[in-house]
Structure 1
Amino acid sequence: MEIPTSSSDLDYFNVNCKICLKTGHGLHFGIETCRACAAFFRRTVVLNRKYKCSRRTGKCEIGSDEEKLMCKFCRFKKCIDLGMTTENVRTDIAVKDDEPSADSPSSSSTSSSDVVVLQMTSTQPIAEVGNRVEYSVINPKTRAPAMLIDVNAIIKTSRAILETYYLPNEDSISHLNPLQRMVHSLQKIRSKQNWNPEFFVHVKFHEMFSWWEVQMRDTATWLMHSDEFRKLPTHERIAIFKIVWAVWRRFERYTMTATIFGHRCYDEKILLHSHEAAAKFGNYQVDYSNVSDHGFERFNK
């Protein structure tokens, strides 16, 4: 077998969902699946649904019919047989049950402890910060007012960057080699750093969340300066981005902290949390009260 000698020799292809055999969208609960099969598996586990085989054989072929025509019993059986695991399925968040059918149990068979529903206090968002939307809700456990932050909006922003081949400064960097392009992007991101950042002692969670939002966009932009990365199929770019962005963010913050503060960052335990804000470990607190009933100490551990 001939081994590719460069990235240009590699052929990329879409991986099919192992359940329905359609285009896959990444690893879900242990195996490569599409979003529909991942949602079906999660819904089945969370709602504790029990199915009966439509042909009473337990051997229906999954992958040849439309999604709604698939035997749910055999589809779920195939999920389990191929190694999908229930360990990472969260049962503490709401799940939309949009598959009523004759072979499904009535709603009364689902334990109320299986699903937690957030009660909206208003049908309209109470605030918009950039593309992020915050909703006022009732905490399902404490019944106290709380905040629901829609993270899909910031993922959409990063996804839009990852789905385009357009770079605003394409002409100015066309003469650079691949490594120089990545360095150029990194320098542009770092140029936004305030070299005299403000130290904070108390910060609201939504403020810290907004910092992550900026860092997520920076990561996506940096990755798209790699020609090899841009040649990957869209779903692979997004999958890689989800894996690396948090690690990239940490290393970048550590690097800039050392660059600005030098040995002080070690002696005084300083960390830059954003382009504008820094804090000392053990000398700041994050207020999570609007999004969780768990205090800072528990999150800090």
Structure 2
Amino acid sequence: MITDKSCLVCKKSSNGMHFGALTCRACAAFFRRATVLKLQYKCKQGNSKCNIDGRGRYVCRQCRLTKCKAIGMNEEKVQLDYDPTYSFRGLMEDSGSDECSTPTGSPVQSEYSPTNLSRKSSIESTDMDPNFLFTFAPKVPDKPNMIIDFSNLVKKIETAFSVKSMKDESELQALTASLKHFRHGQKPKSQVSFLEKVDVTTTVEWLNDRIYKYSCWFSASKSLMSLPLNQKMQVFRSSWNVVRTFERLELSIKVFEENAIKSGCMVVTDDYAMQWDKTYVDLASITELTNQYFNKLFEPYMCRYIDEVARPLLELKLTDEEVVFCMVHLIGLDDAELTHETREVCEQMRSDIADQMHSYYTNQTDIKMYSTRLLVLMKLVKSMKRISREKSKIKELIWLFDIYHADISEPYFFEMF
């Protein structure tokens, strides 16, 4: 719902007048950076009609900049000799969820000034380190942007979403069967190869494969397939990565058992695995920042996934039905851009799955007092949501500061960490 205090660019909450218009801090920082650095962008769709509401502001910079100018933001009001500091809380509030608390009082340097990164060693903090300073690395002149195109993947997903299921199964049965299907090719521990380095091109190939498999799992839900295509895609785009992370964590426990905790072993494909303290993604083709920088940036979240999610999973030893229960409850993680009808469908689906879990526990297991176990599963879901929301704030800052020098057709799908 748009209010008189909404940002006139992206419709999120504003915090005052910036350069002649009512906007949020994130859009003000984007406009300043584009003006100061004289940046020029190309429309992602080529028609200058991209939807930049909410998180859509990160999808197409050209349309976002056009909107900034259309609502009256004035380049002459950008003081080139003024280097403002926004509070970290402000940037976090602009990019994050209202459900997450944020630290206060720590300055972040201007969006175009290099800084150094510092962080806490503790992984127990529920928020990002308030001493964190985000780095901006200017692009090397004349170095072409890497093109990362997911358009063929989108077409495949839309095709999968258009197929009507004729099977007379419950949501739990259908989604469990689909989960087993795309896990069927997973190699045993003795046949899994460990990686030391992965380049961006290889990562994109794996993303195309894994994202499509998750879309096939997603399409096994009659509830979700009842939605209009644009809402199916919106729910999937915003949910696939947190669902993927949970599923990979749980599968890693099945494959590596205690080594998933002790050595940070995680399966990434049917044939390959990584170790969080030894494997790195080589990002040299799309950024001037070092791989060590990104390792330090995301390491606290990876550690929390192990400590808060993988460790309990090792003790619980989930069944496939329980994995599906958790995955379903992670769908719709970011529902800010979903319609009221879509949110109701997601909520009804979660309710139906909970009812079907009652039948599953009663008729297919020896677990009679299962309510406590379900509470533990919901605690895992809550931990996954909390960590993923906090990690997503870093990702949004990456888009805000143009850290990746690449033309990416689907920013939602470019989730490597």
The TM-score normalised by the length of structure 2 is 0.41
- CA distance change for structure 1 residues 89 and 203 in 2, over 3 Å: closer, same or farther? farther
Match status 1:281 vs 2:279 = no
Q: Kindly tell me the number of residue pairs found equivalent between the two proteins.
A: 210
Q: Do the aligned residues in 2 keep the contact of 1:158 with 1:216 (CA within 8 Å)?
A: no
Q: Whole-Å Cα distance in 2 between the matches of residues 202 and 103 of structure 1?
A: 45
Aligned-residue offset at 1:104:
7.4
Which position in structure 2 is the counterpart of 1:232?
Answer: 227
Q: Whole-Å Cα distance in 2 between the matches of residues 227 and 191 of structure 1?
A: 22
Match status 1:87 vs 2:29 = no
Q: How does 1:247-258 map to 2 (within 5 A)?
A: 247-258=242-253
- CA distance change for structure 1 residues 225 and 200 in 2, over 3 Å: closer, same or farther? same
Q: More relative contact order in 1 or in 2 (CA 8 Å, sep 6+)?
A: 2
Q: Do the aligned residues in 2 keep the contact of 1:161 with 1:220 (CA within 8 Å)?
A: no
The residue type equivalent to 1:255 in the other structure is: E
Aligned-residue offset at 1:265:
1.9
Q: Whole-Å Cα distance in 2 between the matches of residues 192 and 266 of structure 1?
A: 23
Which position in structure 1 is the counterpart of 2:266?
Answer: 271
Which position in structure 2 is the counterpart of 1:166?
Answer: 163
Match status 1:207 vs 2:207 = no
Aligned to 2:146, which of 141, 145, 148? 148
Which position in structure 2 is the counterpart of 1:300?
Answer: 295
Per residue, is there more strand in 1 or in 2? 1
- CA distance change for structure 1 residues 150 and 102 in 2, over 3 Å: closer, same or farther? closer
Q: Do the aligned residues in 1 keep the contact of 2:224 with 2:232 (CA within 8 Å)?
A: yes
Q: C-alpha deviations, 1:9-50, integer Å up to 9, x for none?
A: xxxxxxxx849xxxxxxxxxx97x9xxx867x79xxxxx886
- CA distance change for structure 1 residues 282 and 103 in 2, over 3 Å: closer, same or farther? closer
Aligned-residue offset at 1:106:
9.6
Q: How does 1:1-16 map to 2 (within 5 A)?
A: none
Which position in structure 1 is the counterpart of 2:180?
Answer: 187
Q: Do the aligned residues in 2 keep the contact of 1:146 with 1:290 (CA within 8 Å)?
A: no
For the pair shown, the structure with the greater C-alpha radius of gyration is 1
Q: Mean Cα displacement is larger for which, 287-296 or 232-241? A: 232-241
Per residue, is there more helix in 1 or in 2? 2
Q: Whole-Å Cα distance in 2 between the matches of residues 263 and 296 of structure 1?
A: 28
Q: C-alpha deviations, 1:141-162, integer Å up to 9, x for none?
A: 2226455233442662465146
Structure 1: gaps of 5 or more residues: 1-16, 20-29, 43-47, 51-75, 117-138
- CA distance change for structure 1 residues 227 and 111 in 2, over 3 Å: closer, same or farther? farther
Q: Whole-Å Cα distance in 2 between the matches of residues 277 and 244 of structure 1?
A: 23
Q: Do the aligned residues in 2 keep the contact of 1:154 with 1:213 (CA within 8 Å)?
A: no
SS at structure 1 position matched to 2:211: helix
The residue type equivalent to 2:282 in the other structure is: D
Q: Do the aligned residues in 2 keep the contact of 1:146 with 1:292 (CA within 8 Å)?
A: no
Which position in structure 2 is the counterpart of 1:67?
Answer: none
Q: Do the aligned residues in 2 keep the contact of 1:200 with 1:279 (CA within 8 Å)?
A: yes
Q: CA RMSD in A?
A: 4.2
Q: Whole-Å Cα distance in 1 between the matches of residues 151 and 29 of structure 2?
A: 21
Q: Do the aligned residues in 1 keep the contact of 2:9 with 2:71 (CA within 8 Å)?
A: no
Q: C-alpha deviations, 1:53-107, integer Å up to 9, x for none?
A: xxxxxxxxxxxxxxxxxxxxxxx76xx5xxxx342677367343668x9997998
Aligned-residue offset at 1:115:
11
The TM-score normalised by the length of structure 1 is 0.55
Identity over aligned pairs, percent: 15
Aligned-residue offset at 1:220:
1.8
SS at structure 1 position matched to 2:147: strand
Aligned-residue offset at 1:297:
1.4
The residue type equivalent to 2:176 in the other structure is: V
